[in-house]
Structure formats: C-alpha cells, structure tokens
C-alpha cells in the first residue's frame, strides 16, 4: 500500500484511525493509555493526545493538526514495520492473482472480511463466503480498489489483499462498538 493510499484510508474515519494508532503506540510508550477505538474524540482520546504531545511532540494543545497527525502516523508505521504485526498470511505469496470466475478455497476469507466491513462502509454488496470469485465478490474487490486509489480491475492481488487486511484490522478487529478486550476479560 502506498503512502497516499494509506493516508486516504485513514482520513476516511480520522478519529477512529487516530485512536487505533495511539492504541498501538501504547505498546511502545508506557505513558500512553490503551484507548477504545470507538470513533468518538472524548476525554480519553484527548488525554492520550495531550500525553503524546507532552512526551513526544510539544506543545501540549490537545489539537491534532497536520504536523501532529503526521508524527503519530510515522511512529505507528515505524512500529508496524519493526514488529511485522500481521502473523497470519492467508493469501498466497506476492504475484498470485485471483481473477473473476476463479475458485480458490482461501477466497472465503476475503469474502467474509468484506461482509464484516459492510457494517462500516457503504458500497459493499452481500456475498457468500463460498470461495468463488463471482460477480458479488468481484464488485467488492473493485469497490475496495477504487476506494484505495488502485486500478479497479476486480482481480484480487497481493496489493488489494494488503489493503483489505489493513481496513479489516482498523475497523473490525478493534471491535469499535464494544471497546477493546482487556486481559481480565472485561471491556474498556
């Protein structure tokens, strides 16, 4: 995913993206609280922003301007590169493409991911996780490619898979409507 594509994706829901980045950075910076990713710029998010500013990016204003956003994003990207957080590789190696009409068992996973993302985004059509890259699956891939600034070919390739994983991680894995799962089984 290019820098421009990532920026476009994150700016679509800036508060949720900010919360997600700060939540991830809390793993490296003990002074940051572990935020719920709920898309609401409330007291906890303001506190995290001000703590970040105090320790890493003065002055402390509580305002997320372009310079602060870029600093948070850059540190988050560096952290992600260092830790290579995505342990599951469910799509074949780079260079593999799933063209419309093809059937692959692993296609059931992106189809399921699209259905989960349909709760967060308009434009994703219902599809069965059957492994067939049929018309509905192709339409969802084209939607994602267009939204991510890629050529809307309908072919699921490595770059499109990475974009899908990023969206899924930010908007589904964090369970924004419930808050994060805490180690003791409670919710934050």
Q: Are 173 and 135 in contact (CB under 8 A)?
A: no
The domains of the chain, with CATH numbers, are 3-83 (no CATH), 88-188 (1.10.101.10)
Percent of the chain with pLDDT strictly greater than 90: 48
| Burial of 32 per CB tally in 10 Å (0-12, 13-18, 19+) | buried
Give the end-to-end CA distance of the chain in Å, rounded to a whole number.
Answer: 31
pLDDT band at 7 (very low <50, low <70, confident <90, very high): low
Q: What mean pLDDT is reported for the chain?
A: 82
pLDDT digits (tens, 9 = 90+) for 46-71: 999 999 999 999 999 999 999 999 99
**φ, ψ dihedrals at 86, nearest 5°:** -80, 100
pLDDT digits (tens, 9 = 90+) for 23-33: 889 989 999 99
pLDDT band at 2 (very low <50, low <70, confident <90, very high): low
pLDDT digits (tens, 9 = 90+) for 113-157: 999 999 888 899 999 999 999 999 999 999 999 887 889 999 999
Measured CA to CA, the distance from residue 37 to residue 22 in angstroms comes to: 10
pLDDT digits (tens, 9 = 90+) for 75-97: 987 887 676 544 456 777 767 89
Full-prediction pTM beyond 0.85? no
């Amino acid at each position: 995913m290019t820098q421009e594509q990532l920026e476009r994706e994150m700016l679509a829901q800036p508060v949720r993206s900010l919360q997600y980045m700060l939540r991830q950075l809390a793993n490296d910076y003990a002074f940051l609280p572990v935020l719920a990713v709920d898309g609401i710029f409330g007291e906890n998010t303001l506190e995290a922003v001000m703590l970040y500013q105090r320790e890493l990016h003065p002055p402390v204003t509580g305002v997320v301007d372009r310079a602060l956003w870029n600093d948070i994003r850059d540190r988050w990207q560096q952290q992600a590169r260092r830790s290579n957080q995505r342990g599951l590789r469910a799509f074949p190696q780079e260079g593999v493409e799933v063209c419309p009409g093809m059937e692959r068992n692993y296609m059931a996973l992106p189809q399921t991911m699209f259905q989960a993302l349909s709760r967060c985004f308009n434009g994703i059509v219902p599809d069965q996780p059957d492994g067939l890259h049929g018309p509905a699956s192709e339409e969802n891939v084209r939607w994602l490619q267009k939204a991510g600034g890629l050529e809307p070919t309908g072919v699921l390739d490595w770059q499109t898979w990475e974009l899908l994983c990023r969206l899924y991680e930010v908007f589904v894995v964090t369970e924004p409507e419930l808050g994060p799962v805490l180690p003791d089984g409670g919710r934050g």
